[in-house]
Amino acid sequence: MKLYDYAHAPNPKRVHMFLAEKGLDMERVEIDLTKAEQLSADYREINPLCQVPVLETDDGTRISECLAICHYLEELQPQPNLFGGNPAERAQVLMWNHIVEQEGMPGLAEALRNRINMFKDHALPGPVSYAQIPELIERGRKRAKNFMGFMEQRLSGREYLALDRFTFADITLRAVVDMAARMAGKFDMTVLEDRPALAAWHARVSERPSMRNAA
């Protein structure tokens, strides 16, 4: 199998952490987002939506979207289990993962992609050119702040996000929190400093080898 990705982007990082948890390794092909390689004609043949990551299976099938990629790999190698061991657990993992994807990532992306020059003509990911809207920077920052507050509430008295053990939902949240921490200084945000439950969760998951070693 082959993984098309860019190591510094949050979504590929989610797959890297998942692979590390599973003890899996595979060929990686870097698509350099800073050089807009995701928009090249060659990569459009791989993913017409011009996004990373994409998993190419041994028979040439291509799978995009982190959830689909990791679910596919979980089916191939069920242990250690990261999506839940029964229908009720799987529902919780998928629910909380979706919450993080829909409530956490978009605010950060909104603030980032409407501010930095790299995304001047691509404020939204994909092949279509969308102009930046500076007014959305503050809205994105507020959305991110509210999301972090929500995660603080959820994690108060809990060790992990979805279940009583580490799951794919924690991987997604770790990628979002790390992205927020990198943005904090430029966007006048706090992430872990005034959120003790979120900070304790972050310290806990950071002790995992998969979190330390996933590039």
Using one digit for the tens of pLDDT, what is the confidence trace for 63-72?
999 999 999 9
Average pLDDT over residues 74-98: 97
Tokens of 185: 């200084």
Instruction: Write down all domains in the chain, each with its CATH number in brackets.
Output: 2-76 (3.40.30.10), 87-213 (1.20.1050.10)
Average pLDDT over residues 86-100: 98
Average pLDDT over residues 109-115: 94
Nearest to 114 by CA among 134, 100, 97: 134
If you average pLDDT over every residue of the chain, what do you get?
95
Task: Give the pLDDT of residue 215.
Answer: 47
Confidence check: pLDDT of 107 > 80: yes
**What is the pTM for the complete model shown?**
0.95
Confidence check: pLDDT of 193 > 90: yes
Name the percent of the chain lying above pLDDT 70: 99
Burial class (CB in 10 A: 0-12, 13-18, 19+), 52: buried
